[in-house]
Chain A
Amino acid sequence: MWEYTDKVKDYFFNPKNSGILEDASGVGDVGALSCGDALRLMIKVDEPTQTITDAKFQTFGCGSAIASSSALTELIIGKTIDEALELTNQDIADFLGGLPPEKMHCSVMGYEALHAAVANFRGETWVDDHEEGALICKCFGIDEGMIERTIRGNDLTSIEEITNYTKAGGGCSTCAESLEAVLERVNGEMVAEGTLAPEMAFSLTSYVRPVKKGKIVNLDEKKTPLTTLQKIRLIEETIEAIRPSLQRDGGDCELIDVDGNRVMVKLTGACVGCHLSSATIEGVQAKLVEAVGMPLIVIPVTQMH
């Protein structure tokens, strides 16, 4: 049995804004019957102010899919379109007090439906890059293509790292064997291409492998905390260092602002609107925390006001 929060249960048992919105200005359909969940989001937009004045949903899916859909409508009503587009799937999950990891895809569906509905309103088509290669991790709906890109982009050499960057393997973990196979293949290719040292490559046959040389947090260094300027410089440098790997996938990441331990970044290109965005944010966050040596929260922003 899933451990749903009271808020998830409440939004499932008594969903708000379920039904059909007559004269909707934009409709977003995502998911499919065959996948077991599908969501239709209908929004009404006030043209002059570009404000979402009403939203309704229809959902075919599990308890958390229905709760996430309802939460989404509550989150966007009253917001301008630009404000609404800043919402991430994590915001939907947070609104509900969290979702079980295996059910995070429900919040992703909400995020996608919003983008689809806005695209429909603007007369554009919203295309997502789902399903490249075999579905490896069923818990999080992560396919082989995404895992391969994340391994290559971040030089991953262990299953734990894959889980930290993409969530794959972090649920029921029945996909562990498949993850190992993908990791071994991709690392092998990276070695052949000369982008990975052979002794670092993950191999099913060698059990003990060298430990990756991470940034060792010097205790003395810790005593004298970084100045704000040093911290921002470090963040800047780190982001610059990971940009090439994002650009390789047609995306990009730009530092917008730093406020205390909150790092605002702008994700563009392929990173936006795809499953990967949260993975990329987590990846960026992991790198930053490692480099700066203090807890940081990376917040994606689509546009600044």
Chain B
Amino acid sequence: MIPVYLDNNATTRTDPSVVEAMLPFFVEQFGNASSMHAFGAEVGTALGKARKQLQALLGAEFDHEIVYTSGGTEADNAAILSALETQTGRDEIITSAVEHPAILSLVAHLEKTRGITVHTIGVDARGRLDIEAYRKALGPKTAIVSIMWANNETGTIFPVEQLAGLAHETGALFHTDAVQAVGKIPIDLSASEIDMLSLSGHKLHGPKGIGALYVRKGVRFRPLIRGGHQERGRRAGTENAPGIIGLGRAAELALEYMSDEQTRVAALRDRLEQGLLQRIGASFVTGDPDNRLPNTANVAFEYIEGEAILLLMNRDGIAASSGSACTSGSLEPSHVLRAMNVPYTAAHGAIRFSFSRENRDADVDHVLEAMPPIIEKLREMSPFWRERDVRTDAFNPTYA
């Protein structure tokens, strides 16, 4: 049985050529880029090249608009905390209900500890942002807007370029968590109004533990981590040279494969989605089919629970995820699906299939064959399945 990996929104396989690019920077060119000797100089040159590679993927105007971080989470935290410092007199944040915890936990904490006002903009049943509510929330007190480019669970894409324009009308900064978008859809920051953008290496076949925050030239910035003068004083700490160089190579590859992602990968995703809906009743696709990442399908199977589905899929060699990779012991279904008002009967049974350029036709064939018996087995065991249309209130727990 060949394993089928369809969990690329959680993390991707580091491309072997990325690893190859990184390897010399452990034992051979191990110098510190800041040092005044040949060991350091070699590394400095390689870092400069890597920066250009990432700049090209983002379409950024200047390479020094990139600040390397330890990943998407750090970039998100740095963006918001910086804006609260630089936007004096403004103490409100606007974000969406479907952001990653890297944003939502942070703003909840700021609300509690610093008295910051947070406006959380809702979404409709397809996961589209409530633009009217967004317009209304913007005001002279808005320090920063942070709205993700693409959602990690459903793949829904938000119109961030327009949202950034609206934010600027009121003098607010605009940040986007583009961790899921970078490398999957074309991005041209030089033609946009976005002030800050977060990305993460391991989501685009790069290494884990490296990411970046794009900070548009001219946007005032306060570092999250203080210390040495690395990254022009915007992120202290000796550069993660292998990581940065790996991310550079990953960015270069992502540009090369961009059209493959838009066409072949999207077609695989569509075939899986349609095949599942044809073969399995009481299931539906969540998210906005018109504005979606090419690689993501989120399918809700009613009356059964996601973890049980995943365990059976795992036995058949298929890796996917339910809700979010962060599925902990929490009993609550995904906050993204709840924000979209997906009914409880389905929210617990939503499975995210996320493709990458490494997937093939045979992967889809295998999943289409494996899924129907898995779903049927669990539904046979579920107390809700047989009674679903007979009497919806037939299951009467002593407490709810």
Contacts and interface: CB of A to CB of B under 8 A. Distances in A.
Contact of A138 (B303, B307, B332): B332
Interface string A49-87: 000000000111111011000000000000000000000
Interface size class of B (residues with CB under 8 A): 20 to 34
A62 B396 contact: no
A216 interface: no
Contact of B397 (A32, A62, A65, A140): A32
Contacts of A100: 329
Contact of B381 (A33, A58, A127, A139): A58
Nearest to A138: B330
B381 A62 contact: no
Contact of A61 (B308, B328, B330, B399): B308
A116 B328 contact: no
B303 A38 contact: no
Nearest to B306: A62
A15 B381 contact: yes
B19 to A, nearest CB: 24
Nearest to A139: B329
Given A30-B399, A34-B400, A60-B305, A174 B311 contact: no
A63 B382 contact: no
B96 to A, nearest CB: 21
B398 interface: yes
B329 A171 contact: yes
A37 B305 contact: yes
Interface in A116-137: 116, 125-128, 130-131
A36 B328 contact: no
B5 interface: no
B382 A60 contact: yes
B383 interface: yes
Contacts, number: 100
A59 B382 contact: yes
B329 A130 contact: no
Interface in A153-176: 171-172, 174
A171 B331 CA distance: 13
B383 A58 contact: yes
Which of A34, A103, A130, A141 is most buried by chain B, counting CB atoms within 10 A of its CB?
A: A34
Interface in B133-190: none
B328 A62 contact: no
Contacts of A35: 331
Nearest to A30: B397
Interface string A11-37: 011010011000000001111111111
B205 interface: no
B93 to A, nearest CB: 20
A182 B332 CA distance: 21
A60 B345 CA distance: 10
B329 A36 contact: no
Interface residues of A, number: 45
A65 B381 CA distance: 11
Which of B329, B330, B344, B380 is most buried by chain A, counting CB atoms within 10 A of its CB?
A: B329
A102 B329 contact: yes
A105 B331 CA distance: 10
Interface in B378-400: 380-384, 395-400
A40 interface: yes
A66 B328 CA distance: 18
Contacts of A30: 397-399
B381 A141 contact: no
Interface string A170-193: 011010000000000000000000
A60 B305 CA distance: 6
B315 interface: yes
Contact of B305 (A29, A40, A61, A138): A61
Contacts of B333: 36
A125 B398 contact: yes
A29 B397 contact: yes
B376 to A, nearest CB: 13
A60 B397 contact: no
B152 to A, nearest CB: 19
A144 to B, nearest CB: 16
Interface of B: 303-308, 311-312, 315, 328-333, 344-345, 348, 380-384, 395-400
For the complex of A and B, the 10 pairs showing the least CB-CB separation, nearest first, are A102-B329, A62-B307, A58-B383, A139-B329, A40-B383, A138-B330, A34-B344, A60-B382, A63-B311, A29-B397
Given A62-B307, A138-B332, 20 more contacts: A12-B311, A13-B315, A19-B381, A30-B397, A33-B344, A33-B345, A33-B348, A37-B331, A40-B383, A58-B382, A58-B383, A60-B304, A61-B305, A62-B306, A102-B328, A125-B398, A127-B398, A127-B399, A139-B328, A141-B331
